[in-house]
Structure 1
Amino acid sequence: MKLFIYVWYAIWLLAVLFALIRGFAFVFMVMAETSLGIGILVFLVHMFFVLPAIATVILVLKS
C-alpha cells in the first residue's frame, strides 16, 4: 500500500511539474503574440488545473 502511495505521488509530481513548465511556456508564447490580458487569462486557467494537483500531492503526503 505504501508503494502505491509513493508511485501515485511520483506521477502527480511529474504531472504538476509538466503542467507548470507547459503553463509558463504557453503564457510567454501567448504574451509574445497577443496582449498581456490574454496571457494572464491563460495563466489563470492553467493554475486552475495545477492547484488541484498540488492539493492532491499534499493530501497524499499527509496520509
Structure 2
Amino acid sequence: MLVFYPRKNPSVRRVAATCLGHVARIHGRLEKDKVVKKLRLHMSDHESIGSMEGALDDIEMFAKR
C-alpha cells in the first residue's frame, strides 16, 4: 500500500509525488482513491504544485485502479 506522507522539506514532497506518478505509469495501478486524495491536499503548496499536478496527470492517464 502506498501512502503519501507530507514532509517539511518541499524537495521530499516533489520527489514523492513524482515517484507516485512513476508507479502509476510503470505498474498501471495503485490505490488511486487514497493517493489522489493525499496529492490534492498539497495543491496549495506553491513549492511542489507542479510535481503534484504531474503525478495526478500520470495517475489519471495510466492507473487503471
What TM-score bracket applies, with the shorter chain setting the length? 0.3 to 0.5
Work out which of the two has the higher radius of gyration on C-alpha atoms and give 1 or 2.
1
TM-score (norm 2): 0.43
More helix by share: 1
Return the TM-score normalized by structure 1.
Answer: 0.44
